[in-house]
């Protein structure tokens, strides 16, 4: 039969499809075969068979589609038996190749052998498949045939290397294996020379090509479905395996205890990080070692029977907790607790050993034993009282506790209830405390209570209680401390902080804490609160002249008097500072407050006997009411203070309720106080001079220097307004020195100008007179102004003179020895003991203008004036009446024997210029 050589052509769609099939088959088959390494037993065999089946199917499908892509005559057919043999060859080759390759991680030769079998499987399937063609005569080019086989083998080895040696690039293995299959096939096809009988040449047709395409698509689709199902199953298995591996890894990595896993031959195959830390060894150095050789070196002789049981794998150790001694790499031994468990894996036992380092526990146990011993000694010898009790029953008390409780016997207390030691009113508090401790509530604070000693006396203690473990029992240990002295100290400190040490009254701190709370209750209750602000009149004068000791005693008497007058459970009497006191009267009407104020004023006005000396003093009271006059403590106190100053300015010794216009008065006082300093520097003060006349001849016999203040914005400010403020602020000292200097200088100038030689009177404040250098200052002023001392008269108030202070008497005598005249101003207002006048070097008594004002209408004032004149005559003193404003007053005073007079009826105060112009001639005539 004649044959003609076939020059076939390819359907490139089917060629590409064949390559895709080869790629899918390679990737899926290798992915399944990779699991052989990760599995054991029947799973290993299953994954191996699955991978071989998929690979064999893929190789055959690729070959089949590739052959369909080659256009052959329609009469060409396949021998079915030979086709089946080719499929079997691809399956068996893949199975053997994957089997060898799965061992390639340990031996490279196995991987090469696997690649060789895979290459032969691919080649075998191709050439046996080619042999299955009937009606075609095929011859091969030996060179290309060999080359195709070499391609199959080398690329298969490369693919398996990526798949089993480098798991991170197993996708590369599928690509290489796909190239191996298709590369081998088309190289083999190039090596084949095909011839067919001449009579078959005309049998090719387009219908046949269409039929081949349809068959190829069906085969490809079916194969891809098989691959897809296998791949999805493989990926799900991958995911589960990955999760299992991650879970296993996380357990092993995070396990606190040491975990060592070894197989039935004793070879270690797992060694977690805790084990690495325990044995101070790297995991890679341990894997594969014998568990007995690693774990139980020969030099460890302690617990040898137990170690021998572990080494021999005795079943008696399974599940048991065994304590023994193991060795680290540095040959140092350490105690451990070992638990061994066993599981079956592929019908072979696998062991897991759990090890726990007992070094710390042993140290703790030893420390605990020592601690219990020390605990007992500490309790016995502790200087603090310690009581140990359970369920409220005392089980132990140390010597310090026995001494604190009054030296009772220990046996007398053991077995008694601890609450019996606590004072009755504190037992509920102590019971709750013990219940909290028994319940495990962490009480970091302490409890304070009173306990009763054996002698029946109660003492203050501070106690802390904790749960302790002793002798296997849970007990309560209470450590107590006698704080009786501490409580006394705290009460003393509290008294110092909140009570005035001089009077015993609550101080400003207590007031500031109590008053806001009281106002809050009053606001909620809807009732009023009265604030009474009290100040002693002329207290500074008494304090300065009679001394601070007498001033303190006066404050004590005044505080006692206020407490007696105020009375009432809710009323508060408080000393704020100095001579300032406050009374809080809650829930009382205006009439009740008026009655209380009148009672206080009446009681204070009575003479106070201090060390045998009768002291006359008065008080001024300001009253503000909540809520009408303010709703805050600050506002109410400020308004009560304003009312008190209004009472002082209105004559003292009285009370005033707050009125809103009083704020203006207080603001003016503050403005004057702030302006005083500038007034001294800017010379806003000037002097005027009021002549003093002889009653009989009505001739000028002297003058009184009076200070006046002309402020740039406030205008004229009277001395009655600014002198008291200057005394309070201390400005009176430089102001007084200026007045004295100006008066002496002016009088000397008049003398030099030829005016009559009459003395000049200058008032001295008690603040000035109490200065240590007052006598020296006056002497220096006389020297600087060149004024003779006999032309200077100093006026002091009766209240200053009545104090009978030795320092005042001494200074007055020094001034008198200089030749200076002394006059007592405002005489008759100070309730002084007239017998003291004999001890003072006084020249003149000056009758206060308050008695002169009502002389014509008041018989009592007339009697007082007559008595003062009589007293002056008996002491051979001059009498000067001030405030003479009518001719009738002048005549009466003259009739009663008053020698000198001063007042508006005779002359207003005059400036130096007015004195010079109006009286120059008269004074010269007198001279």
Would you call 243 exposed, middle or buried from its count of C-beta atoms within 10 A (0-12, 13-18, 19+)? Answer: exposed
Is the pLDDT at 819 greater than 90? The verdict is: yes
- Flag the least confident range among 307-316, 717-726, 904-913: 307-316
Average pLDDT, integer, range 646-662: 86
Per residue in 61-99, pLDDT (tens digit) is: 777 777 776 666 555 566 778 778 877 877 787 777 767
Task: Return mean pLDDT, the chain.
Answer: 79
Per residue in 472-522, pLDDT (tens digit) is: 788 888 888 888 888 888 777 877 788 888 998 999 988 888 899 999 999
Is the pLDDT at 212 greater than 60? The verdict is: no
Tell me the domains of the chain and their CATH numbers: 3-235 (no CATH), 255-357 (3.30.450.20), 364-488 (3.30.450.20), 529-660 (3.30.70.270), 674-920 (3.20.20.450)
Q: In what order do the strands lie in the sheet with 529-537?
A: 572-577, 580-586, 529-537, 618-626, 655-657
**Tokens matching residue 113:** 């052998």
Is the pLDDT at 210 greater than 70? The verdict is: no
Q: Which residues have CB under 8 Å from 496's CB, separation 6+?
A: none
**Tokens matching residue 95:** 């199975």
CB of 387 within 8 A of CB of 396?
A: yes
Average pLDDT, integer, range 857-882: 86
| Residue 206: predicted pLDDT | 45
How far lies 266's CA from each of 105, 288, 328, 660, 739, in Å?
Answer: 22, 9, 19, 104, 119
- Find the helix packing angle between 142-164 and 12-38, rounded to 10°: 40
**Tokens matching residue 73:** 């005559």
Place of tokens 């089917």: 14
Is the pLDDT at 541 greater than 90? The verdict is: no
Per residue in 288-329, pLDDT (tens digit) is: 888 777 776 544 444 455 455 555 555 666 777 788 888 777
CB of 28 within 8 A of CB of 227?
A: yes
DSSP 361-419: HHHHHHHHHHHHHHHHHHHHH-SS-EEEEETTEEEEE-HHHHHHTTS--HHHHTTSBGG
Average pLDDT, integer, range 791-801: 82
Average pLDDT, integer, range 100-127: 73
Who wins on pLDDT, 311 or 772?
772
| Residue 730: predicted pLDDT | 86
| Residue 239: predicted pLDDT | 61
Average pLDDT, integer, range 101-118: 71
Give the C-alpha separation, 837 to 840, whole Å: 5
Give the C-alpha separation, 801 to 827, whole Å: 10
Who wins on pLDDT, 775 or 317?
775
3-state secondary structure string, 892-921?
HHHHHCCCEEECCCCCCCECHHHHHHHHHH
Residue 62, Cα to own-chain centre: how many angstroms?
A: 78
Who wins on pLDDT, 339 or 742?
742
Give the C-alpha separation, 318 to 350, whole Å: 12
Is the pLDDT at 3 greater than 80? The verdict is: no
Per residue in 888-898, pLDDT (tens digit) is: 999 999 888 89
Band of residue 204 on the pLDDT scale cut at 50, 70, 90: very low
| Residue 599: predicted pLDDT | 92
Residue in 139, 182, 180, 147 with CA at minimum distance from that of residue 161? 180
Residue 499 is given by DSSP the state: B
Percent of the chain with pLDDT over 70: 78
**Tokens matching residue 90:** 């691809």
- Find the helix packing angle between 41-69 and 206-254, rounded to 10°: 150
| Residue 864: predicted pLDDT | 85
| Residue 299: predicted pLDDT | 43
| Residue 706: predicted pLDDT | 95
| Residue 595: predicted pLDDT | 92
Helices (H), 70-169: 80-101, 108-131, 142-164
Radius of gyration of the chain (CA): 62
Band of residue 265 on the pLDDT scale cut at 50, 70, 90: confident
Residue in 149, 819, 310, 9 with CA at minimum distance from that of residue 157? 149
How far lies 541's CA from each of 620, 707, 727, 740, in Å?
Answer: 15, 21, 10, 21
| Residue 749: predicted pLDDT | 92
| Residue 470: predicted pLDDT | 73
Is the pLDDT at 455 greater than 80? The verdict is: yes
Give the C-alpha separation, 255 to 900, whole Å: 116
Per residue in 127-181, pLDDT (tens digit) is: 787 777 776 777 888 888 888 888 878 877 776 776 666 555 555 776 777 777 7
| Residue 355: predicted pLDDT | 86
Average pLDDT, integer, range 326-342: 81
| Residue 705: predicted pLDDT | 95
| Residue 306: predicted pLDDT | 47
Who wins on pLDDT, 692 or 216?
692
| Residue 303: predicted pLDDT | 45
Give the C-alpha separation, 336 to 352, whole Å: 15
Who wins on pLDDT, 381 or 412?
412
Strand 618-626 relative to strand 655-657, pairing? parallel
- Flag the least confident range among 103-107, 192-196, 534-538: 103-107
Burial 328-349 (b: 16+ CB within 10 A, else e): eeeeeeebbebbbeeeeeeeee
H or E element that contains 806: helix 806-818
5 φ/ψ angles, rounded to the nearest 5 degrees: -70, 135
């Amino acid at each position: 039969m004649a044959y003609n050589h076939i020059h076939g052509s390819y359907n490139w769609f089917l060629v590409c499809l064949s390559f895709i099939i080869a790629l899918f088959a390679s990737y899926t088959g290798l992915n399944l075969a990779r699991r052989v390494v990760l599995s054991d037993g029947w799973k290993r065999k299953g994954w191996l068979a699955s991978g071989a089946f998929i690979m064999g199917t893929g190789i055959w499908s690729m070959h089949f589609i590739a052959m369909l892509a080659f256009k052959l005559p329609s009469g060409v057919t396949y021998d079915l038996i030979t086709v089946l043999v080719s499929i079997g060859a691809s399956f068996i080759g893949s199975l053997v190749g994957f089997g060898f390759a799965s061992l390639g991680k340990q031996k490279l030769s196995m991987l090469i052998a696997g690649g060789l079998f895979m290459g032969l499987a691919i080649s075998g399937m191709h050439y046996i498949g080619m042999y299955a063609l009937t009606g075609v005569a095929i011859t091969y080019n030996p060179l290309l045939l060999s080359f195709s086989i070499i391609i199959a083998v080398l690329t298969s080895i490369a693919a398996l290397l990526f798949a089993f040696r480098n798991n991170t690039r197993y996708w590369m293995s599928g690509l290489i294996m796909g190239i191996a299959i298709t590369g081998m096939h088309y190289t083999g096809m190039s090596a084949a020379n095909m011839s067919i009988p001449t009579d078959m040449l005309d049998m090719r047709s387009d219908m046949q090509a269409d039929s081949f395409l349809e068959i190829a698509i069906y085969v490809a689709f079916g194969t891809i479905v098989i691959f897809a199902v296998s791949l999805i199953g493989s990926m799900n298995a991958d995911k589960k395996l990955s999760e299992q591996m991650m879970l296993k890894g996380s357990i092993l990595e995070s396990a606190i205890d040491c975990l060592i896993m070894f197989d039935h031959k004793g070879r270690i195959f797992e060694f977690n990080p805790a084990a690495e830390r325990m044995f101070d060894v790297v995991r890679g150095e341990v894997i594969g070692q014998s568990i007995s050789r690693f774990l139980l070196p020969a030099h460890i002789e302690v617990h040898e029977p137990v170690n021998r049981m572990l080494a021999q794998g005795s079943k008696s150790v399974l599940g048991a907790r065994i304590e023994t001694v193991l060795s680290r790499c540095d040959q140092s031994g350490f105690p451990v607790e070992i638990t061994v468990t066993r599981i079956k894996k592929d019908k072979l036992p696998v062991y897991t050993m759990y090890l726990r380092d007992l070094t710390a526990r042993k140290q703790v146990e030893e420390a605990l034993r020592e601690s219990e011993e020390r605990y007992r000694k500490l309790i016995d010898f502790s200087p603090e009282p310690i009581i140990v009790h359970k369920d409220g029953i005392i089980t132990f008390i140390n010597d310090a506790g026995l001494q604190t409780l009054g030296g009772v016997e220990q046996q007398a207390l053991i077995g008694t209830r601890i609450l019996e030691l606590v004072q009755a009113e504190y037992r509920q508090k102590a019971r709750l405390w013990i219940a909290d401790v028994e319940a495990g509530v962490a009480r970091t604070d302490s409890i304070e209570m009173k306990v009763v000693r054996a002698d029946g006396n109660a003492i203050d203690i501070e106690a802390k209680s904790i749960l302790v473990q002793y002798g296997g029992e849970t007990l309560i240990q209470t450590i107590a401390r006698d704080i009786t002295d501490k409580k006394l100290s705290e009460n003393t400190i509290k008294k110092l902080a909140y009570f005035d040490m001089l009077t015993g009254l609550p101080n400003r701190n207590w007031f500031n804490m109590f008053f806001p709370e009281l106002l809050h209750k009053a606001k909620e209750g809807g009732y009023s609160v009265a604030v009474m602000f009290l100040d002693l009149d002329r207290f500074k004068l008494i304090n300065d002249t009679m001394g601070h000791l007498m001033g303190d005693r006066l404050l004590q008497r005044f505080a006692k008097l206020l407490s007696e007058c105020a009375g009432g459970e809710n009323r508060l009497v408080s000393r704020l500072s100095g001579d300032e006191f406050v009374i809080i009267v809650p829930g009382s009407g205006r009439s009740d407050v008026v009655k209380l104020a009148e009672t206080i004023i009446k009681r204070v006005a009575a003479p106070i006997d201090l060390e045998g000396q009768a002291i006359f003093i008065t008080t001024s009271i300001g009253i503000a009411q909540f809520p009408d006059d303010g709703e805050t403590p600050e506002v109410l106190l400020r308004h009560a203070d304003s009312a008190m100053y209004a009472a002082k300015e209105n004559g003292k010794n009285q009370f005033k309720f707050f009125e809103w216009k009083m704020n203006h008065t207080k603001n003016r006082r503050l403005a004057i106080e702030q302006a005083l300093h500038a007034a001294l520097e800017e010379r806003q003060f000037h002097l005027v001079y009021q002549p003093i006349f002889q009653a009989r001849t009505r001739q000028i016999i002297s003058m009184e220097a009076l200070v006046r203040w002309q402020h740039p914005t406030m205008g004229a400010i009277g001395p009655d307004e600014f002198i008291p403020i200057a005394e309070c602020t201390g400005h009176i000292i430089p102001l007084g020195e200026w007045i004295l200097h100006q008066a002496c200088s002016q009088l000397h100038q008049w003398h030099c100008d030829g005016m009559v030689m009459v003395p000049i009177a200058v008032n001295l404040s008690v603040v000035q007179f109490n200065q240590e250098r007052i006598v020296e200052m006056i002497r220096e002023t006389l020297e600087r102004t060149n004024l003779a001392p006999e032309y200077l008269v100093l006026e002091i108030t009766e209240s200053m003179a009545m104090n009978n202070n030795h320092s005042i008497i001494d200074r007055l005598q020094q001034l008198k020895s200089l030749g200076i005249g002394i006059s007592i101003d405002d005489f008759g207002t100070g309730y002084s003991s007239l017998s003291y006048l004999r001890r003072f070097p006084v020249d003149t008594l000056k009758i206060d203008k308050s008695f002169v004002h009502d002389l014509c209408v008041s018989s009592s004032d007339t009697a007082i004036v007559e008595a003062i004149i009589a007293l002056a005559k008996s002491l051979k003193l001059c009498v000067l009446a001030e405030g003479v404003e009518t001719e009738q007053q002048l005549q009466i005073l003259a009739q009663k024997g008053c020698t000198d007079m001063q007042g508006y009826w005779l002359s207003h105060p005059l400036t130096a210029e007015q004195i010079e112009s109006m009286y120059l001639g008269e004074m010269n005539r007198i001279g």
